[in-house]
């Protein structure tokens, strides 16, 4: 099948004529925003003028597909390759990490002389060399976890060190991005802004919620009985706040005099995280149906792209690396074969021949396949998406040849892309990725080992079912332990700090850190028992998400570690009270190789 571009408004200028050299790039990535969460998509309840302006002033990819969940989409954006090829097969417990053989879009722009920075949610690895600073970014500020439990005055990472911030998390990260743009305005820059919203917890500034508290929802989800109206209101309030932050960045670009020569990209990482309006599509986050996969994708570049161009050809997150590098004239770094295509030929506004293609989506071993007209779902039902976006009427009988062809393609794709081990195709309850957690690189000496990456034993439990942004609780006996599988890169002396809380009456336990042949003991004191934060949430947070509290650093001491694969274990050797402590993370800092 050959397709052509469709221009839905008069072009304000021809595409890519008399281009200035080396455009800047700003990439916005929303977290859990559905296709239907922008007013440009037809949502009549919400108003997102800044996001809409990117589409109106540039190019809209009308059928753009991402992954069912967060980390896989981020990996595909970074690499131009299906996420399973790069080892990303989950969203926590280490499964979110991008293999070290992969090179990223940031690697390419940095190699071309760009200043690179990321400000927000990373979600493709926390420890060096999985950390964003090792994946092409000169600067990083935000959180590397897939979920963050504090949206106000949050503790965030600033190039390896945790800092307590002031304000709403989206505003704080955008302020850092604005500063980066102002600092780098005289040289080309690549600025990645992965928002934390509208991912839960349901927390939004009071002034935003006041506008939505009683607002009528003019459109409802495909299954109204499953929709929780207040959650939808909170999501849309988050979207309007996010939109203002997009507007702030656009204004900063304008004030710096670089807006005309900056490529701006906006998209989301998966479908909506609740059962709200999404254009009548079936599915939401976590599904491989249309509604779980389709995202808005808007690009603008006043000096190089037409205005109001709608591209009907299917596209995906895998296409963004080859497209951005082509638009900027930047050479790709790395030689692994790409799955994505350079979409820039479609941006001319002229008719372009474009062969049909198939884009594959997977989650939990379930695979669906989408070509320009049809989707084959994960149980083999074929749908004509031109007339049935809700996937209600299978057309296998009428389109038997197409169904058979897509089924063959799915089987071939499974064999080529997915791992042989079936256990790696699904999330295993309580299991941790078999790849060890890396520790001790001289170029980035701080290694944080959060609770989500550890394994509890005995009576120790996580603070919630969701490992991301959890902490260990119920540590009461000498038989209890916590283990991290680590690979120590550099032998040497390490400073050990534990982020903890402990009831005052229980202070004084002695804990031992064991790693290989090394041992370090320290006392859990003083007691520190702060209340849970209960005043941050606009609405009760979803079941399975931890309520957070203020953890304090416990300086356990220094220990000599040998290089190599080993287990790092924490165990109590003296317990004078009823419990040992709640533990958020261990930080190991290489101080003397």
Q: Where are the domains of the chain?
A: 6-348, 369-420, 437-592
**Among candidates 501, 423, 429, which has minimal Cα distance to 465?**
429
In angstroms, the CA 330 to CA 133 distance is 20
- Mean pLDDT for 378-401 is 98
The reported pLDDT for the residue numbered 349 is 77
Least confident range from 40-49, 128-137, 422-431, 530-539: namely 422-431
User: Which residue carries 């296998």 as its tokens?
Assistant: 396
Note whether 358 and 383 are within 8 A (CB). no
Least confident range from 12-16, 111-115, 259-263, 410-414: namely 12-16
pLDDT for residue 7 is more than 90: no
- Mean pLDDT for 56-63 is 98
Q: Which pTM does this prediction carry? A: 0.95
pLDDT in tens, 549-582: 999 999 999 999 999 999 999 999 999 999 999 9
pLDDT in tens, 272-331: 999 999 999 999 999 999 999 999 999 999 999 999 999 999 999 999 999 999 999 999
The reported pLDDT for the residue numbered 12 is 35
In angstroms, the CA 565 to CA 515 distance is 10
Note whether 98 and 130 are within 8 A (CB). yes
pLDDT for residue 69 is more than 80: yes
Q: Using CB atoms within 10 A of its CB, is residue 521 exposed (0-12), middle (13-18) or buried (19+)?
A: middle
Q: What is the DSSP string of 454-514?
A: SEEETT-EESSSS-TT--EE---STT-EEEEEEEE-S-EEEEEEEEEEB-GGGTT-EEEEE
Q: What is the DSSP string of 148-202?
A: -S--BS-EEEETTEEEE--SBHHHHHHHHHHHHHHHHTTS-EEEEEEEEEESSS-
CA angle 272, 273, 279 (to 5 degrees): 25
What CATH number belongs to 437-592?
A: 2.60.120.260
pLDDT for residue 421 is more than 60: no
Kindly report the average pLDDT of the chain as a whole number.
Answer: 95
Architecture field, domain 6-348? 3-Layer(aba) Sandwich (3.40)
Higher pLDDT, 278 or 15: 278
DSSP-derived letter for residue 205 is -
**Among candidates 151, 254, 181, which has minimal Cα distance to 539?**
151
Q: What tokens appear for 112 in the block?
A: 């071309």
The reported pLDDT for the residue numbered 433 is 79
The reported pLDDT for the residue numbered 17 is 40
- Mean pLDDT for 249-257 is 99
pLDDT in tens, 467-481: 999 999 999 999 999
In angstroms, the CA 559 to CA 512 distance is 11
The rounded percent of the chain whose pLDDT value lies above 90 is 92
pLDDT for residue 453 is more than 50: yes
Angle formed by the axes of helices 49-56 and 229-255, nearest 10°? 60
Using pLDDT thresholds of 50, 70 and 90, give the confidence band for residue 419. confident
pLDDT for residue 1 is more than 80: no
DSSP-derived letter for residue 425 is G
The reported pLDDT for the residue numbered 515 is 98
The reported pLDDT for the residue numbered 582 is 99
The reported pLDDT for the residue numbered 593 is 87
CA angle 173, 262, 138 (to 5 degrees): 50
Q: What tokens appear for 52 in the block?
A: 């809409």
Q: Report how many helices (DSSP H) and strands (DSSP E) the chain contains, helices first.
A: 9, 28
pLDDT in tens, 156-204: 999 999 999 999 999 999 999 999 999 999 999 999 999 999 999 999 9
- Mean pLDDT for 360-374 is 98
pLDDT in tens, 141-150: 999 999 999 9
Q: What tokens appear for 8 in the block?
A: 């839905």
Using pLDDT thresholds of 50, 70 and 90, give the confidence band for residue 42. very high
**Element at 233 (helix H, strand E):** helix 229-255
Using pLDDT thresholds of 50, 70 and 90, give the confidence band for residue 432. low
């Amino acid at each position: 099948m050959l397709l052509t571009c469709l221009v839905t408004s008069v072009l304000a200028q021809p595409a890519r004529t008399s281009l200035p050299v080396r455009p800047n790039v700003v990439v916005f990535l929303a977290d859990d925003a559905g296709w239907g969460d922008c007013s440009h998509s037809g949502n009549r309840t919400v108003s997102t003028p800044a996001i809409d302006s990117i589409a109106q002033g540039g190019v809209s990819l009308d059928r753009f597909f991402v992954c069912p969940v967060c980390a896989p989409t981020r990996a595909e954006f970074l690499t131009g390759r299906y996420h399973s090829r790069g080892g990303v097969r989950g969203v926590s417990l280490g499964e979110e990490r991008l293999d070290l053989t992969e090179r990223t879009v940031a690697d390419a722009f940095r190699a071309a002389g760009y200043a690179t920075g990321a400000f927000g949610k990373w979600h493709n690895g926390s420890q060096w060399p999985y950390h964003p600073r090792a994946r092409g970014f000169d600067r990083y500020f935000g959180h590397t976890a897939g979920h963050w439990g504090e949206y106000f005055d949050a503790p965030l990472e600033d190039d390896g060190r945790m800092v307590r911030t002031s304000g709403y998390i989206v505003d704080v990260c955008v302020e850092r991005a604005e500063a980066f743009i102002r600092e780098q305005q005289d040289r080309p820059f690549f600025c990645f802004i992965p928002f934390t919203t509208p991912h839960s917890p349901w927390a939004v500034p009071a002034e935003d919620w006041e506008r939505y508290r009683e607002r009528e929802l003019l459109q409802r989800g495909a299954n109204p009985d499953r929709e929780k109206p207040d959650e939808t209101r909170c999501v849309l309030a988050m979207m309007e706040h996010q939109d203002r932050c997009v507007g702030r960045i656009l204004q900063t670009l304008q004030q710096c005099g670089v807006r005309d020569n900056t490529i701006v990209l906006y998209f989301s990482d998966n479908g909506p995280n609740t059962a709200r309006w999404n254009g009548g599509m079936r599915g939401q986050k976590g599904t491989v149906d249309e509604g779980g996969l389709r995202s808005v994708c808007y690009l603008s570049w006043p000096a190089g792209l037409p205005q109001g161009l709608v591209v009907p050809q299917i596209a995906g997150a895998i296409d963004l690396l080859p497209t951005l590098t082509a638009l900027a004239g930047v050479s790709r770094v790395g030689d692994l074969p790409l799955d994505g295509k350079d979409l820039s030929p479609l941006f001319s506004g002229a008719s372009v021949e474009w062969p049909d293609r198939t884009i594959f989506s997977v989650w939990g071993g379930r695979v669906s396949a989408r070509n320009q007209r049809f989707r084959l779902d994960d149980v083999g039902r074929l749908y004509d998406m031109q007339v049935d976006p809700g996937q209600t009427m299978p057309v296998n009988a009428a389109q038997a040849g197409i169904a058979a062809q897509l089924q063959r393609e799915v089987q071939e794709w499974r064999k080529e892309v997915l791992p042989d081990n079936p256990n790696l195709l699904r999330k295993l309850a309580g299991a941790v990725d078999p790849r060890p957690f890396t520790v001790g690189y001289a170029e980035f000496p701080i290694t944080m080992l959060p609770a989500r990456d550890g394994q509890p034993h005995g009576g120790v439990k996580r603070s919630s079912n969701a490992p991301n942004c959890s902490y260990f609780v119920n540590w009461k006996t000498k038989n209890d332990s916590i283990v991290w599988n680590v690979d120590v890169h550099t032998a040497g002396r390490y400073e050990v700090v534990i982020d903890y809380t402990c009831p005052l009456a229980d202070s004084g336990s002695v804990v031992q850190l064991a790693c290989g042949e090394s041992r370090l003991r320290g006392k859990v004191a003083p007691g520190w028992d702060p209340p849970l934060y209960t005043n941050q949430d606009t609405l009760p947070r979803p079941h399975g998400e931890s309520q957070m509290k203020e953890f304090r650093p416990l300086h356990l001491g220094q220990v000599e570690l040998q290089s190599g694969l080993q287990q790092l274990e924490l165990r109590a050797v003296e317990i004078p009270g009823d419990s040992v402590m709640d533990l958020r993370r261990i930080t190991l800092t290489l101080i003397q190789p």
